[in-house]
């Protein structure tokens, strides 16, 4: 089977590596020859490192490289059975690309987008055969992250969905099938991890350090919200939040924070700029601050912070299930394998108990009387019926 990848940046190159490793013939397309050369050199370094570490042998490295060819014209993808674009997140540019691509490939070719937030239905509308279009969303870095969200548009045929899922599973990835709604699963369900942390800071309840410490030490998350926003980039993370907020008709659950907006406007983008919520050296390593005076009741405070952010995450996951965005299994797989959460949020809800989830959400709503803190109807229903997710 022949695979066409459009865009030779980090994501496109990573997807090409994944497909080629699984024995598929891949053509990596980019209009920029310098970008293609850079991708070829980067892959050589990655594979050489894997050989050094004993992960693969030299013959395997050569086999993977031989499976990838680098092309400069879209017409070169004419023999593809599946094409995946991984270019700039701009709807019009993607639609124009797909419209041109369709004129070169066969009627049976699946045309997929790696978009993380744009409407697949809108992208599919650019095609003469929109039933061939689907979302196949990898996470960065593609070779390492196990999750792939597969997102059928309302136009997508069942055959295209089934074939796409089969191919991605053949690439040794975990597939989560998601409805074509803003943020799909991960970028929707993860919003409170950032948004509620920012809200807690803006209320003056705790510092960046204390909030991050609560989520890592009590929750078992690998990175705290502010560390992670610095890692992603405050400009990128803010834009995703703003996009989801707008796409959901300004639902207050996804409301962006002025703190993050101001940090982005100031150029405090995180690791890549040397300054964000924390300071970093030229190699992107955290510069330790002078010891911060901790409040006397730090542990109860950290527990309060963790409970508040966790229940907001659980509530979002439950609402995604309530609205049939994905199955319970796919939602939990998405969060553990897509963003490395220590547990699936719905499994966490079972562990905490529906009564705990509902009472914590109601406490927040009774305190603030904001629609942001409305409890998911599914959590309330399951609590009333004494049910669990698993």
296 in Cβ contact with 210 (< 8 Å)? no
Give the neighbor-by-neighbor strand order of the sheet with 174-177.
Answer: 68-71, 25-29, 2-6, 82-85, 110-113, 133-138, 147-152, 174-177
Picking from 71, 133, 68, the residue whose alpha carbon sits closest to that of residue 102 is: 133
**Are the CB atoms for 86 and 5 separated by under 8 Å?**
yes
Active site annotation includes 137: yes
Indicate the DSSP class of residue 57. -
Does 90 participate in catalysis according to the annotation?
Answer: no
Q: Which run of H or of E encompasses 147?
A: strand 147-152
187 in active site: yes
Q: In this structure, what are the phi and psi dihedrals at residue 275, rounded to the nearest 5 degrees?
A: -150, 135
- The one catalytic residue in 116, 164, 307, 315 is 116
Q: Which two tokens stand for residue 16?
A: 């090409």
User: Pick the catalytic residue: 187, 213, 307, 376?
Assistant: 187
What are phi and psi for residue 112, nearest 5 degrees?
A: -120, 150
Coil/strand/helix, residue 69: strand
Active-site residue, selected from the candidate residues 85, 102, 149, 196: 149
* 196: annotated active-site residue: no
Name the active-site residue from 85, 126, 137, 315. Answer: 137
Active site residues: 116, 137, 149, 187
């Amino acid at each position: 089977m022949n695979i066409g990848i459009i865009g030779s940046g980090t994501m496109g190159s990573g997807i090409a590596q994944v497909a080629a490793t699984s024995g598929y013939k891949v053509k990596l397309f980019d209009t920029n020859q310098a970008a293609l050369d850079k991708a070829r050199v980067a892959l050589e370094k990655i594979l050489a490192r894997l050989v050094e570490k004993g992960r693969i042998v030299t013959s395997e490295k050569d086999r993977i490289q031989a499976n990838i060819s680098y092309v400069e014209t879209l017409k070169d993808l004419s023999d593809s059975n599946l094409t995946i674009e991984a270019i700039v997140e701009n709807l019009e540019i993607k639609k124009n690309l797909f419209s041109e691509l369709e004129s070169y490939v066969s009627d049976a070719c699946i045309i997929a987008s790696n978009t993380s937030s744009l409407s697949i239905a809108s992208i599919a509308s650019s095609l003469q055969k929109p039933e061939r279009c689907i979302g196949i969303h990898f996470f960065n870095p593609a070779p390492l992250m196990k999750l792939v969200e597969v997102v059928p548009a309302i136009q997508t045929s069942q055959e295209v969905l089934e074939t796409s899922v089969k191919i991605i599973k053949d690439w040794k990835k975990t597939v989560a099938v998601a409805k074509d709604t803003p943020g799909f699963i991960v970028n929707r369900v993860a919003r409170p991890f950032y948004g509620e942390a920012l809200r807690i800071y803006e209320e003056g309840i705790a510092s960046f350090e204390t909030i991050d410490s609560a989520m890592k030490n009590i929750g078992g998350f690998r990175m705290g919200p502010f560390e992670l926003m610095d890692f992603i980039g405050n400009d990128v993370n803010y834009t995703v939040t703003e996009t989801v907020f707008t796409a959901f008709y300004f639902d207050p659950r996804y409301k962006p924070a002025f703190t993050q907006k101001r940090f982005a406007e100031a150029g405090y983008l995180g690791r890549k700029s040397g300054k964000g919520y924390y300071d970093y050296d030229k190699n992107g390593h955290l510069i330790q601050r002078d010891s911060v005076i901790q409040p006397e009741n730090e542990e109860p405070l950290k527990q309060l912070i963790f409970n508040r952010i966790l229940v907001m995450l659980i509530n979002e996951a439950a609402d995604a299930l309530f609205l049939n965005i994905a199955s319970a299994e796919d939602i939990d797989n998405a969060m553990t394998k897509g963003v490395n959460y220590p547990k699936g949020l719905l499994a966490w809800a079972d562990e905490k108990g529906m009564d705990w989830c509902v009472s914590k959400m109601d406490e927040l709503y009774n305190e603030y009387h904001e629609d942001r803190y409305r409890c998911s109807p599914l959590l309330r229903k399951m609590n009333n019926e004494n049910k669990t997710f698993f």
